[in-house]
Amino acid sequence: MNNFKGKIFILVLTISLALGIKVFANEINFEKNEDSNLQKVILIDPGHGGSDGGARSNSGVQEKDINLQISLKLKKKLEERGYKSFLTRESDMELAPKKKYDLELRCKKKDEVKSDVFISIHQNKFGQESCWGSQIWYASNDKSKLLADKVQSSIKESLQNKNERVPKDAKKAFKILRDGNKEANIILECGFISNYKEEKNLQNEDYQNKLVEAIIKGIDEYFKVSK
């Protein structure tokens, strides 16, 4: 009888130790993921600002304002997830009076903060009000294409399941993507402010929060597979 009790005790002890090791391993893995995020630098560029309002909707909404609202939310949420994040502007201002120098300073910021990911937040506008949906342009390198694919897929899955747009290689079209470091660089056109319904969505705080979560999910997926 005593021998039987001894075997039961050893069995219980073995199971307890195994469970303890598993929990401890999971805690280590969680901490490792947090540490990994802390090493990743995200630079967010709220497009336009100050005297440069960007696109303007039919109701008078300026692109620069929506860009900043989304960017501020994105920075906050990224930091909550353990990422190190920066903004090229934190208020309604341009970085330089002339557009050329403004863009140069935004590009220079990539090297200053040593960004792993650069996302320039914009809103689209087109003559046909029926146009809608996010659109991404990416710098001509593999990292940028991968990031663009992940972010676009995440936004489509979360908010725009009928959006058939695919990310496009910007080639030499945009200085903001050409210059600065050669890590993952994209322009995210969040939607069309020329579309009445989408303009309202893009100004809605709940929609902005959902959009931000989708962007972050795309960034998470990018880092899972990026080398």
Evaluated on CA atoms 211, 215, 220, 222, the torsion sign reads positive
Q: Give all strands (DSSP E) within 6-98, no chain letters.
A: 41-46, 84-87
Query: What is the reported pLDDT for 175?
Result: 95
Query: What is the reported pLDDT for 227?
Result: 72
Q: Which residues 6+ apart lie within 8 Å of 26 measured at CB?
A: none
Query: What is the reported pLDDT for 29?
Result: 45
Burial 112-127 (b: 16+ CB within 10 A, else e): ebebbbbbbbbbbbee
Query: What is the reported pLDDT for 37?
Result: 72
The CATH homologous superfamily for domain 40-225 is Zn-dependent exopeptidases (3.40.630.40)
Query: What is the reported pLDDT for 31?
Result: 44
Q: DSSP states of 145-167 as a string? A: HHHHHHHHHHHHHHT-TT-----
Q: How buried is residue 31: exposed, middle or buried, by Cβ count under 10 Å (0-12/13-18/19+)?
A: exposed
Evaluated on CA atoms 154, 82, 95, 201, the torsion sign reads positive
Regions of the chain short of the pLDDT cut 70: 1-36
Structure confidence by residue, pLDDT tens digits, 65-82: 999 999 999 999 999 999
Q: How far apart are CA 77 and CA 218, in angstroms?
A: 13
